[in-house]
Amino acid sequence: MNLDEVSMIVQFFGGLGMFLYGMKMMSAGMQKFAGDKMQHMMGVLTNRRFMGVLVGGFITMIIQSSGATSVMAIGMVNAGIMNLTQSVGVIMGANVGTTATAWIVSATQLGDTFAVMKPSFFAPILIGIGAILVMFGKSHKKNITGELLIAIGVLFVGLTWMSDAVKPYQDSEIFVKAITMLGANPFLGIMVGFVVTFLMQSSSASIGVLQSLAMNGMITANIAVYICLGACIGSCTTALISSIGSTKNGKRVAVINLLFNCIGVVIFGTIMSIVFMAVPSLPWMTVDAVKIAIFHSSFKIINTVFLFPMGNILVKLACKIVKDKPEGEYEEEDELVLHLDDRFLKSPSFAIEMVTKEIAEMGKLAGTNLRAAMKALIFNDYEKLDDIFLLEKKINRYQKQLTSYMVKINGLELNEHQNTAVKNLLYAINDIERVGDHAENIAEYAQNMKRDGIVFSDMAKDELVIMNGKVMQNYDWAIEAIQTGNKLLHEKITAYEEQVDAMELELRDRHILRLSRNECRMESGVIFLDIISNLERVSDHAMNLVEYVQENE
């Protein structure tokens, strides 16, 4: 092997590295650019499978990976947020959406007609403009746009390097024999597509490499067909690996994805083999990047149209392959349903949406505990005091798990809005945990009153009922604001917060006056003052929560 050959190999792998890195940068940039819109997409999923196809297709075009979308679907089913029927549409849409990358790559084929469209001409321009926007752009959107342009430029430079590296070998005897062997053996061609995609963990990447070879007239129709089909099966491995350790339904989503692609490959592979035999000259016809993109998209779309009415059959097949355990047999996953999943981290905006819902659930638990504690204290209802302390431990576990998950999200590539949201959600978790602490404090006061036989006067009880009603209303509005993002609640909570502050001062003065007149016991008076102080702090935390929502764009 001479120096030139070594140089060509190094150039090819360098180009492959730039192409893959460009794809990753482009995916991250597009998520930053459009990620905030994605967080509401999964929310529109219903049992209408067609809507799932549209959502799955859109998200995959954004994140440039059907594997990533499938992994997100596994996570949602694993958490009980989406059922198997809904996941079928998402899987189908993801498989269609992943063909977008092939069309981006095929755009370089226009260089054969228009010189200015060659990657070697416009890629440096894109990188140059992108660098200027990143370095000198004052707005966040300009910076993101710059990152996108650089990513596309790097991707096309990588394609150019790969194409130039293999160009000297297009007439090589070894290459001709290898291509002939692959084209003559459908199973071998499919296996090559599968293995390459499995190693790259991306069908978009493997088909992009195939397209770069096709730009030099080195790929025939039969090779393109079989490798594309193999790549489609290889793309399922990401979801299959991700499903390890998930629930039964999570595993079934991965199986549905595999069945969808395998059924399509068997049908299409058989049809194309018959066509190739009927027209002997067709399989040896050279194809370009555009024709590969056309075939890839056609296969995915036709397969989706064909299998769309059979979604329920795919679900039943998946359930037969991944069977439930016999009735009565212990199954650990039945005990614990995870509401957060590392698979959601594939899309930061979606992960933030999911964690927001869990924070709202944590907030409702703290509210439940506060109501129970106040009921025990005011009405001497001590039966559920032990439950309050148990629920407080659960709230503390919520805090630890949510904070740990938020740290993972914070380590992702986030845009400015997402960074603000993550910061505020971390603050919200701590505020809600403090509300739980206040509920625990009140429950401990109730315990002391039970032990020492202390009771409040009717007047004190009435005052606590009124103040507690306003505080609980404020807190409920705050949790609603987190759950819905409703900023209009800020005005209501602000007004109630001012009333609670004024009431705390007024009740404190009244009660001190009662103490000075010996109208109530000193022990109950001290507890009363501590109670209204705790309630006032809960209202402060409610105010903090709604202000976090107000800060989000």
> pTM of the full predicted structure?
0.61
On whether both 461 and 519 belong to a single domain, the answer is yes
Confidence label for 182 from pLDDT (cuts 50, 70 and 90) = low
Which of 39-53, 207-221, 315-329, 356-370 has the least mean pLDDT? 39-53
- Report whether pLDDT(41) > 60: no
- The enclosing domain of 451 has a CATH number of 1.20.58.220
- Report whether pLDDT(332) > 50: no
Q: What is the pLDDT of residues 523-541, one digit of tens each?
A: 677 888 899 999 999 999 9
State the chain's mean pLDDT as an integer: 80
String of b and e for 451-464 (b: at least 16 CB within 10 Å)?
A: eeebebbeebbebb
Q: Could you identify the residue written with the tokens 């075939």?
A: 295
Query: Mean of the pLDDT values across residues 77-98?
Result: 80
Provide the token pair at 431. 């505020």
Number of folded domains that form the chain: 2
List 220's β-bridge partners, or say none.
286
Query: Mean of the pLDDT values across residues 85-114?
Result: 75
Q: Please report whether residue 332 resides in a domain.
A: no
Query: Mean of the pLDDT values across residues 449-469?
Result: 86
Q: Please report whether residue 331 resides in a domain.
A: no
Q: Could you identify the residue written with the tokens 């083999």?
A: 273
Q: What is the pLDDT of residues 382-433, one digit of tens each?
A: 777 888 999 999 899 888 889 989 999 988 878 788 888 999 999 999 999 9
Provide the token pair at 345. 């981290």
Q: Please report whether residue 337 resides in a domain.
A: no
Could you tell me where the DSSP H helices lie in 453-485? 458-484
Closest of 292, 301, 388 to residue 97, by C-alpha = 301
- Report whether pLDDT(544) > 90: yes
Domain boundary among 287, 321, 355: 321
Query: Mean of the pLDDT values across residues 540-551?
Result: 91
Q: What distance in Å separates the CA atoms of residue 492 and residue 186, rounded to the nearest whole number?
A: 68
What's the DSSP call for residue 219?
-
On whether both 409 and 481 belong to a single domain, the answer is yes
On whether both 317 and 351 belong to a single domain, the answer is no
On whether both 244 and 365 belong to a single domain, the answer is no
Provide the token pair at 163. 């194409």
On whether both 213 and 69 belong to a single domain, the answer is yes
Q: Could you identify the residue written with the tokens 């692959």?
A: 182
On whether both 313 and 364 belong to a single domain, the answer is no
Q: Please report whether residue 342 resides in a domain.
A: no
On whether both 317 and 390 belong to a single domain, the answer is no
Q: Please report whether residue 339 resides in a domain.
A: no
Provide the token pair at 421. 């949201």
- Report whether pLDDT(439) > 90: yes
Confidence label for 31 from pLDDT (cuts 50, 70 and 90) = low
Q: What is the pLDDT of residues 194-241, one digit of tens each?
A: 888 887 767 777 787 788 778 777 788 888 899 899 989 988 887 787
Look up residue 162 and give its amino acid: M
Q: What distance in Å separates the CA atoms of residue 512 and residue 517, rounded to the nearest whole number?
A: 9
On whether both 415 and 478 belong to a single domain, the answer is yes
Which of 35-39, 329-333, 418-422, 470-474 has the least mean pLDDT? 329-333
Q: Please report whether residue 328 resides in a domain.
A: no
Which of 54-58, 230-234, 470-474 has the least mean pLDDT? 54-58
Of residues 527 and 75, the one with the higher pLDDT is 527
Q: Please report whether residue 20 resides in a domain.
A: yes
Helices 416-452/348-379 angle, 10° precision? 20
Provide the token pair at 326. 């016999």
Q: What is the pLDDT of residues 105-141, one digit of tens each?
A: 776 655 544 444 555 667 788 889 989 988 887 777 7
Question: What is the enclosing helix (H) or strand (E) of 216?
Answer: none
Confidence label for 542 from pLDDT (cuts 50, 70 and 90) = very high
On whether both 101 and 186 belong to a single domain, the answer is yes
On whether both 369 and 287 belong to a single domain, the answer is no
On whether both 315 and 417 belong to a single domain, the answer is no
Query: Where would I find the beta strands (DSSP E) of 126-168?
Result: none
Q: Please report whether residue 291 resides in a domain.
A: yes
What's the DSSP call for residue 201?
T
On whether both 411 and 543 belong to a single domain, the answer is yes
What domain range includes position 14? Answer: 3-321
